[in-house]
Structure 1
Amino acid sequence: MACFFRKRIAAKLGRTLQQSDDVFIPALAAIPVLKKQQPADFKLSLSTLRINGILPSRGDIQLQTDNLASQLKQDSVVEDISAGCGVINFKVNRRLLAEKLLEPFGKGEDEKFGLNSELFNTLKKGTTLVEYSSPNIAKKFHAGHLRSTIIGNFIANLKESLGNNVIRMNYLGDWGMQFGLLGAGFGQFGCEEKLKENPLQHLFEVYVQVNKEAECNEDIKKAARNFFKQLEQHESQAVSLWQQFREITVKEYQHVYKRLGVHFDIYSGESFHQAQAQEVGQQLQSQGLLKTSDKGTGVVDLSPDGDMSSVCTLLRSDGTTLYITRDIAAAISRKENYCFDEMIYVTDKSQKHHFYQLFHILLAMGHSWAGRCQHVSFGLVQGMKTRTGDVVFLEDVLDEARMRMLHNMRQSNTTKELENPEDTAEKVGISALIVQDFKGPLQSDYKFDWDRMLQAQGDTGVFLQYTHARLCSLMQRNKDVAAATFDPSLLHEQTCVTILQHLLRYDEVLYQSAQDLQPKHLVNFLLKLCHFIASAHRELPVKGSPLDIAQARLQLFSGACSVLANGMRILGITPVNKM
């Protein structure tokens, strides 16, 4: 694996510069493979060594580069060392490259590939709580919640694969004035029969209708305020109706999550923290942090000069709590209950200011762990529409992705006979959704495009799945070849070396993803791997080749297939074996 070579090169540098081997590990990078031939495998940046004080920060950097390169000697592992522009390039023995990289796949250690890298030693391990998805109950799962769900799932998968204990939490919007409106609205416009037939659709219709009425009807607004106050005071009739809405919604959501391959350890919600939210108000008051505004609301002063020019409202004038009050209570409760080492919130970028206020207030209250809380934000999806209309619910999007994919598969000459074509179309359609979403920076808005997303050619989720299925088919057809002895020296063609050089970067890509929590690094790595596999599939036939060459090539394809599948699973994609 890459760590074997990185350690050997680091040891060589350590001996030459009389430093600990470990200091060179972060400065050594596998060289990204370009279309043209890449002669070296690793590079050492001299500027990194200067920044870290390993080399003098003054003097001609190129002179230092040439001088250090001349001191380093080749051996059985590193067969060529050359000085570049401020970098030293290392080419490793080609036979050893194939042997060490493909070794784990012959020992049943496929899922561990790249995960035992010394690069991860610098990452903090422990308990990570990820809050994601978090839709509002009594509303259908809107397509806008798709990003939070799949991004949060990716972060949880990534952290888990790197050895963290991960708690996956869905923090439902199940409290607040919206339930005042819905409670009042259901009394006027609700129908128990329709609620049984299509629960979320009916609640959505009631909510739209009551909102429209509330715009011009003061009595509706008053009824909504009264209903929410009854909820806060735990009046049985109001709580019973609210409980019914919550149970219906969670049941419906779980069906959608199952389709997406997403699961949660905990379903929490604002309602869990209503009593604690009142305690937060009292605590802030006792600490002298809660002020009363001219309007009678309870606020915390966030202005740098303490002049009340920037305040955060935590209590309404009638004493009821707000979303942020409950968020403060929830954060404190989670720290007490789960002892997390870090907590990650995944929501859209419009909530950036909310989390700035949340973390600021927690720190002001004396909770130093708030410094280990992070908001991962994302942009909006533009133009996500189905053929049926403008209001887009996630189930409609998933249905349409499956339907379109099924149509494309039926039109394709390469589609295999499948036991359950609908299930395959569903998995491939969801892959397409995820890859289209993950290709760019999360903070960017992007335009949704059905046709581009579902193309089998080009950089899409369909291309990932097609490549994986193709490799599975290749291995299935050549099962008898796999039993032969593996000779790594037979993988000398440049097409083979290109794949091996690319696999060297897998641990670095995961490391980069763990640092900025962006899935684009892994997506682009896997897409590039698929292009290299496609070239190798054309140029390196297994069938018809001598047994030893066929076996070596099959080992290469098997290793590439395993890395592709592992990476897809971290992204939240279920690989298909046939399509």
Structure 2
Amino acid sequence: MACAFRRSIACQLSRILALPPESLIKSISAVPVSKKEEVADFQLSVDSLLEDNNHQSKLDTQDHARRLTEKLKCDTVVTAISAGPGTLNFKINRELLTKAVLQQVLEDGSKYGLKSELFSGLPQKRIVVEFSSPNVAKKFHVGHLRSTIIGNFIANLKEALGHQVTRINYIGDWGMQFGLLGTGFQLFGYEEKLHSNPLQHLFDVYVQVNKEATDDKNIAKLAHEFFHRLELGDMQALSLWQRFRDLSIEEYIQIYKRLGIYFDEYSGESFYREKSRDILKLLDSKGLLQKTITGNVVVDLSGTGDLSSVCTVMRSDGTSLYATRDLAAAIDRMDKYNFDTMIYVADKGQKRHFQQVFQILKIMGYEWAERCQHVPFGIVKGMKTRRGDVTFLEDVLNEVQSRMLQNMASIKTTKKMENPQETAERVGLAALIIQDFRGLLLSDYQFSWDRVFQSRGDTGVFLQYTHARLCSLEETFGCGYLNDVNVACLQEPQSVSILQHLLRFDEVLYKSSQDLQPKHIVSYLLTLSHLAAMAHKTLQVKDSPADVAGARLHLFKAVRSVLANGMKLLGIIPFYVPESLLCTEQIRKWQHTPRNGP
């Protein structure tokens, strides 16, 4: 409903400024909630109205705001208009605000905030998102966790906005590492160990052969020969490779199931081993290939012809590289999906790689290369379990589940649950995701188990507990109260703050859709949870008059709905944790605003 209020304000401004309302709507923003003072509901920066901001002094801006305020008039929607430091501030009729917001949240459900005029005219696009991309024959490393949850968030957000999204898991199932692994298994592998614990054994073999190859040039030579046999289609080498691939994918599927993540397409570099040869022929036909002194085949990216910047597309022994296969994959996906945008979610260390791939596509004459986008992210530091250094995601998930089960078991009032492992894992995953998404994706961050599992403060556990408490309210009092809402019963400061915050949800979604950063949604949801905690302490439902209880329950239901919507976008499954899991101390903490609250 924020869009209706913006339009009302924009229409009044348009009559004075002689500008169409549509050009003003996106400049009118909901004002963030403040603990210190009651704030206006909407704000317009005067700078956005002035044609030449560079030559406007602060005094000019403030004077312009004051003069505009004198020309504007209050009406049935806007009850107060004031000038701030370079801003116009608008206060909405409180009862109209309450009724409109609660009604819109109820009617729009999971689409609340997405029907805003901020998204009007948004063209529906075909979007391909490549993410996760673990390496076959290696256990799922925690380094792939960020790609997995970030890519899932981007795909969720794009789908929510109505785009046609294809989720691709482009598995690293080809390359020189298989030369090493194939050779290593022939030298150090055991069938019984491969059968009992396949990926752990393959990982151990890979570590050992890498170590041996460093000191023994003959092993390195054998590895090159094995991969060369793979490239030529040698049946014995391919059979061993196929076994490694099948065993790996079986384990990956179980990991994705635990994460609640799915893909529309599983593909791998191996699929493009033949098509990469076609790419080389095409590059050669365009006169873009050059051979270096060492025998490698490169594409000159310098633009000057001096080979100061090149991308290697074929080794001297004729085998392909990651870049060659990525070129083939990009062209194949355009043929298959005719995408408007293709997003690669990969760590920032691959920035140069994607720049080169996109540049070669442009040199080849593919104008759609400009539709390809790399979303980079930083690394996670310090992720360790009680057993020591963590290498594998499975260990992290098991640690998450173990710690949450331990927390639950420590609560004396905990009742038996049908599936405590599932509850523990879902709450724990929320904790992991929120810690990861709180900052800029490009930033590295220090992982902390203690911070992850705090039930108080800006954590995923706090979000899940907030959702659980609100579900408990609805379960306790039922839906009988929700038929008619007396909006006059929701004029307390705590209620108004929540309603003002709910107004901002569409702006937060819009901001995340522009820069693909989940931190905007995370910050919003945490503030919403803190506001709900404060309101729950003072706005009692139990023993209140029926109209008051009904209005408050409706408000808490709206908070729970928007909280769930935002969590789902982040890849968190909102979970109803029985109130018995929240010990008295946890409830007390939940009801008091943390220091880092709003």
Contact 1:349 1:443 in 2 (8 A): yes
- The Cα shift of 1:413 comes to 6.0
Contact 1:50 1:56 in 2 (8 A): no
CA distance in 1 between partners of 2:298 and 2:129 (Å): 28
Mean alpha-carbon deviation: is it higher for 73-82 or for 531-540?
73-82
Task: State the partner residue of 1:46.
Answer: 46
Q: Is 1:578 the equivalent of 2:577?
A: yes
| Equivalent position SS for 1:459 | coil
Task: State the partner residue of 1:460.
Answer: 459
Contact 1:298 1:317 in 2 (8 A): yes
CA distance in 2 between partners of 1:414 and 1:27 (Å): 51
Q: Is 1:16 the equivalent of 2:19?
A: no
CA shift digits 1:358-402 (9 cap, x unpaired): 111111111111111111111111111112232421111111111
Q: Is 1:299 the equivalent of 2:286?
A: no
Task: State the partner residue of 1:556.
Answer: 555
- The Cα shift of 1:206 comes to 1.2
Alignment of 1:524-535 (within 5 A): 524-535=523-534
Task: State the partner residue of 1:369.
Answer: 368
- The Cα shift of 1:554 comes to 0.5
CA shift digits 1:490-546 (9 cap, x unpaired): 110000000010111101111111111111110010001000000000010001100
Amino acid at match of 2:201: H
Task: State the partner residue of 1:222.
Answer: 221
Q: Is 1:381 the equivalent of 2:412?
A: no
CA distance in 2 between partners of 1:480 and 1:353 (Å): 56
Alignment of 1:310-321 (within 5 A): 310-321=309-320
Task: State the partner residue of 2:142.
Answer: 143
Contact 2:482 2:551 in 1 (8 A): no
CA distance in 1 between partners of 2:229 and 2:439 (Å): 46
Mean alpha-carbon deviation: is it higher for 533-542 or for 18-27?
18-27
Q: Is 1:65 the equivalent of 2:26?
A: no
CA distance in 2 between partners of 1:250 and 1:6 (Å): 50
Task: State the partner residue of 1:547.
Answer: 546
CA distance in 2 between partners of 1:482 and 1:442 (Å): 43
Amino acid at match of 2:308: S
CA distance in 2 between partners of 1:253 and 1:477 (Å): 40
Contact 1:50 1:57 in 2 (8 A): no
Contact 2:33 2:39 in 1 (8 A): no
CA distance in 1 between partners of 2:576 and 2:96 (Å): 30
The 1:80/1:416 distance shift into structure 2, 3 A limit, reads: farther
Mean alpha-carbon deviation: is it higher for 9-18 or for 333-342?
9-18
The 1:480/1:267 distance shift into structure 2, 3 A limit, reads: closer
Mean alpha-carbon deviation: is it higher for 328-337 or for 29-38?
29-38
CA shift digits 1:528-567 (9 cap, x unpaired): 1000000000010001100001000001000000000000
- The Cα shift of 1:480 comes to 5.4
Amino acid at match of 1:62: Q
Task: State the partner residue of 1:288.
Answer: 287
CA shift digits 1:292-324 (9 cap, x unpaired): 112121111112433211111111112211100
Amino acid at match of 1:28: I
Task: State the partner residue of 1:158.
Answer: 157
Amino acid at match of 1:8: S
Contact 1:355 1:375 in 2 (8 A): yes
CA shift digits 1:384-432 (9 cap, x unpaired): 1112232421111111111111111222467565322211111000100
Contact 1:41 1:91 in 2 (8 A): yes
Alignment of 1:89-488 (within 5 A): 89-107=89-107, 109-121=108-120, 123-412=122-411, 415=414, 417-479=416-478, 481-488=480-487
The 1:536/1:274 distance shift into structure 2, 3 A limit, reads: same
- The Cα shift of 1:219 comes to 2.0
Aligned residues: CA RMSD: 1.6
The 1:363/1:82 distance shift into structure 2, 3 A limit, reads: same
- The Cα shift of 1:166 comes to 0.7
Contact 1:157 1:572 in 2 (8 A): yes
Contact 1:138 1:246 in 2 (8 A): yes
CA distance in 2 between partners of 1:561 and 1:144 (Å): 33
Q: Is 1:569 the equivalent of 2:568?
A: yes
Task: State the partner residue of 2:35.
Answer: 35
TM-score of the two chains, using structure 1 as the length reference = 0.97
CA shift digits 1:207-233 (9 cap, x unpaired): 111111111122211211111111111
CA distance in 1 between partners of 2:271 and 2:292 (Å): 28
Unaligned stretches of 5+ in structure 1? none
The 1:449/1:209 distance shift into structure 2, 3 A limit, reads: same
CA distance in 2 between partners of 1:72 and 1:438 (Å): 42
CA distance in 2 between partners of 1:230 and 1:243 (Å): 14
- The Cα shift of 1:118 comes to 1.0
The 1:352/1:66 distance shift into structure 2, 3 A limit, reads: same
Mean alpha-carbon deviation: is it higher for 288-297 or for 539-548?
288-297
- The Cα shift of 1:477 comes to 0.3
Task: State the partner residue of 2:593.
Answer: none
Amino acid at match of 1:32: P
Amino acid at match of 1:36: K
| Equivalent position SS for 1:215 | helix
Mean alpha-carbon deviation: is it higher for 478-487 or for 429-438?
478-487
Q: Would you say how many aligned residue pairs link Structure 1 and Structure 2?
A: 576
CA distance in 2 between partners of 1:420 and 1:348 (Å): 35
CA distance in 2 between partners of 1:303 and 1:163 (Å): 40
- The Cα shift of 1:63 comes to 2.2
Contact 2:105 2:562 in 1 (8 A): no
Contact 2:127 2:341 in 1 (8 A): yes
| Equivalent position SS for 2:215 | coil
| Equivalent position SS for 1:39 | coil
Amino acid at match of 1:195: L
Contact 1:42 1:89 in 2 (8 A): yes
CA shift digits 1:442-468 (9 cap, x unpaired): 111111111111010110000000000
| Equivalent position SS for 2:233 | coil
CA distance in 2 between partners of 1:516 and 1:173 (Å): 28
Aligned-residue identity in percent: 57
Contact 2:379 2:444 in 1 (8 A): yes
Amino acid at match of 1:365: M
Amino acid at match of 1:420: N
Contact 2:28 2:42 in 1 (8 A): yes
The 1:161/1:57 distance shift into structure 2, 3 A limit, reads: farther
- The Cα shift of 1:39 comes to 2.7
- The Cα shift of 1:56 comes to 11
Contact 2:132 2:345 in 1 (8 A): yes
The 1:32/1:303 distance shift into structure 2, 3 A limit, reads: same
The 1:398/1:56 distance shift into structure 2, 3 A limit, reads: closer
The 1:361/1:56 distance shift into structure 2, 3 A limit, reads: closer
Contact 1:363 1:370 in 2 (8 A): yes
